[in-house]
């Protein structure tokens, strides 16, 4: 419960440093007082600082090229895919393209099962 005069954005700005490790927390506290006035601004500079463009590009490539390993269960593949997507919260791949990447990376047998279960209209 928060007081009515406190916005959700203010709560995020105040709580964010507590979610960070030592170096990142030090970085946030080193920012000049009053230099960050919105949650989106803080999110943007944090991601720019801790997720270089090259890392984002590499994760996008991994997402688009993911493949189910031989002997890997559907559930294990889903977990690996989900973990990869979550490792880059600003990857900006549209949901329908993420679904397509997941589907195309499935083994032939699992792709056939998903296709049949969807009535032939999955992707």
Q: At what angle do helices 22-30 and 39-50 cross, to 10 degrees?
A: 130
The number of distinct structural domains making up the chain is 2
Answer whether residue 69 is part of any domain: yes
Residue 1 resides in a domain: no
65 and 34 share a domain? Answer: no
Separation of first and last alpha carbons in the chain: 43
Nearest alpha-carbon partner for 123 in 101, 92, 93, 91: 101
Do 75 and 103 have their domain in common? yes
**Shared-domain flag, residues 25 and 79:** no
pTM: 0.69
pLDDT of residue 120: 83
Its domain, for residue 92, covers 53-117
**74 and 110 inside one domain:** yes
Whether residue 39 lies inside any domain: the answer is: yes
Show the 3-state SS of 11-55. Answer: HHHHHHHHHCCHHHHHHHHHCCCCCCCCHHHHHHHHHHHHCCHHH
Task: Let me know whether 92 and 74 are in one domain.
Answer: yes
Mean of all residue pLDDT scores within the chain: 91
Together in a domain, 60 and 97: yes
Same domain? For 62 and 109 the reply is yes
Q: What's the pLDDT tens digit per position in 34-72?
A: 899 898 899 888 888 888 888 889 999 999 999 999 999
Domain match, 20 and 58 both: no
Same domain? For 46 and 74 the reply is: no
Mean pLDDT of 107-115: 95
| 21: pLDDT strictly greater than 70 | yes
- Domain membership flag for residue 32: yes
Distance CA 84, CA 73 (A): 17
pLDDT at 67: 98
**Is 39 in the same domain as 12?**
yes
What pLDDT shows up at residue 123? 64
């Amino acid at each position: 419960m928060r007081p009515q005069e406190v916005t959700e954005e203010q709560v995020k700005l105040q709580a964010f440093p507590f979610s960070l490790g030592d170096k990142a927390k030090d970085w946030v506290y080193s920012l000049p007082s009053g230099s960050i006035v919105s949650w989106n601004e803080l999110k943007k500079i944090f991601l720019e600082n801790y997720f270089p463009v090259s890392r984002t590009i590499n994760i996008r490539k991994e997402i688009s090229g993911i493949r189910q390993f031989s002997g890997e269960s559907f559930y294990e593949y889903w977990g690996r895919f989900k973990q990869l997507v979550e490792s880059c919260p600003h990857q900006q791949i549209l949901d329908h393209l993420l679904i397509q990447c997941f589907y195309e990376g499935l083994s032939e047998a699992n792709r056939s099962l998903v296709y049949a279960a969807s009535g032939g209209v999955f992707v």
